[in-house]
Amino acid sequence: MNRQRRARIVATLGPASRAPGTIKALAEAGVDVFRLNFSHGSHEDHAANLKAVRGAEMALQRPLGVLADLQGPKLRLGRFANVEIAVKPGHKMRFDLDPTPGDETRVQMPHPEIFKALREGMLLLLDDGRVRLRVGKRTDEWADVTVESGTKLSDRKGVAVPEAIIPVSALTPKDREDLNFALRIGVDWVALSFVQKPEDMAELKQIVKGRAACLAKIEKPQALDALESILDYCDGVMVARGDLGVEMPTEEVPVAQKTIIRAARQRGVPVIVATQMLESMTSAPAPTRAEASDVANAVYEGADALMLSAETASGDYPLEAVGIMNRIMERVESDPLWPGLMDAEHAGMDDDFDADALVAAARKAGEAQSTACIVVFTTLGGTARRMSRERPLQPILALTPKPETARRLALVWGLEPRLGKEPASLEDVTEDAVASAMKYDLADAGQRILILAGTPFGAPGAANLLRLAHAPAKKAKR
C-alpha cells in the first residue's frame, strides 16, 4: 500500500472519526499519521483511538504514526457578573487578581505571571484577537487597559500577549499527566504547545527520554524569534497557523510559514503545516478554491505533511476531506514545475560531513531515469531523514527492524517506511534491498536500485555505504 505522493497527511481523531472502521478507511484514503488532541477527550478515548490505529496498521500492512498533541497553558480572563459586557474603542478598565465577578470597570485575570511580563504600551489580544487592548499603568497585581477595537467581552475568553515572553512552563500539570499517559500507551510523536524558547523543548526532551519523537508547535512570535535555537531540540516542527494568526498580523502568517518550512528543511526536521487547510469541509462536501490553493502551495513549498483538524475530528465529511487533500497533493507532484522546486534548495553539510556527502551523492545518482527507488537501511531513522532532506524524486524505501522507527518515519516526506530484518553482510544488504523493492512494488525487473546503509550493521550511526543494484530481469519464456 504505497502512496503516490511524497507529502504526508496528518488527521485529527474525534467524534466523527474514532470508529475503528473509519480509522481504517481514513488510512486507506491517505492518512499517514493520526493526531490525538489532548485538549479534548478522555484518556480512555485516546487509548481506544490508538488501539484502533494499530489495528488498521496491521490490516493494511503499512506503518501508521500516532501524534499526541498536548494542550499547553490556557491563559483566560475571569468571569463577569452578567456573563458579558459591551466595549468599544476608548473603553477603559482594569485587569486584576481579585476573583470577584467583573463588570464594565474591572475583571479578574488570574495569571500573576502575565502582570509580571506586561509593560506600558504593550498589546493584549482577547477572544482570538476579536478584542485588542493597550496596556497603560501596571503593577505585578493589576493593569489598566484601553480598548482599541472590539464590541464585547464575555466569561473566560483567552488572553494572548504577543509582545512578551510569559514566564510559565509550556508543560502544565495537566500536560505532564497527559504526557505520561501518552508515553505509557506508546504514541510515536509528542507535540508541545505554547513553545516560546528552546528551554521549553529541552524540558520536554528530558522527560520523554527518547520514548517518542518530540515536535514543537510554532504558534507564538517569540518562538519565531528563537526558531533556530528551538530547532536544535526538535525532531519535528508544526506551523500552527491558528494561534500565529491571533498573535501576529494576518499578512505576516504566510511569511512565517515559509520561514519555518525553509528553516526546517535546511535542518532535515520534518515540518507540518496546520490549521484551516480545508476548514469549509467541516460542513461542506468540497473545499473552497482558496483552500485548494492553500494545500497546493504548502506542497509546492516542500512541507513534509499537512494536517486536518476539525475537518476529520468533528466534521461531516472526514473521508472526503482526506480524499480531496490526497488528490490535490498528487496533482501538484505531477506538475512539471514541481521537481524543479524540490531541486532548487538543498541543505548544507552538517557536523557529519561524510554522511551528508554520501546522501547527496545518492540523490545525484538517483537522477538517472533508470533508477526506480532508493532503499535506505536505518535503525533509528537518521539516515532516512537525511535522504528525505535531499528531496529526491524517487520513492525512498526505509527499512528498519524497529516498529517505533517505522511509525515515526511515517511523517517524513517521501519515505515508505517498512519493517525489515537487520542485514548481516554486504551480500544481505543487496539481496534484501532488491527483494524488498520488488515486494513493495517500488521496482520492476531490470530497474536500477540505489542502496544506502551504514556499517557495522545493527549499530545506530550515519550511512557510509552507497551501492547500485539491479532488480533481476524476467526469465525469458520458452
Q: b/e string for 32-65 if b means 16 or more Cβ within 10 A? A: bbbbbbbebbeeeebbbbbebbbebbeeeebbbb
> What backbone torsions phi and psi does residue 134 show, to the nearest 5 degrees?
-115, 135
Cα separation values, 310 from 105, 110, 113, 219, Å = 37, 29, 31, 18
* Concatenated DSSP letters of 90-118: T-EEEEES--S-B-SSEEE---HHHHHH-
| Residues 11, 31 contacting (CB under 8 angstroms) | yes
Q: Cell numbers of 426, please?
A: 554486504
Among the listed residues 5, 8, 62, 217, the single catalytic one is 217
Task: Tell me, yes or no, if 478 is annotated catalytic.
Answer: no
Task: Tell me, yes or no, if 275 is annotated catalytic.
Answer: yes
Residues 6+ apart with CB under 8 A from 159: 75, 76, 77, 109, 111, 114, 124, 125, 126
Among the listed residues 12, 62, 275, 378, the single catalytic one is 275
Q: Cell numbers of 11, please?
A: 488527521
Among the listed residues 3, 6, 24, 35, the single catalytic one is 35
Calpha distance 141→381 (Å, rounded): 49
Among the listed residues 76, 130, 132, 467, the single catalytic one is 76
Task: Tell me, yes or no, if 94 is annotated catalytic.
Answer: no
Instruction: Calculate the dihedral angle through the C-alpha atoms of 399, 363, 430, 439, rounding to the nearest 10 degrees.
Output: 50
Task: Tell me, yes or no, if 400 is annotated catalytic.
Answer: no
The set of catalytic residues is 35, 76, 217, 275
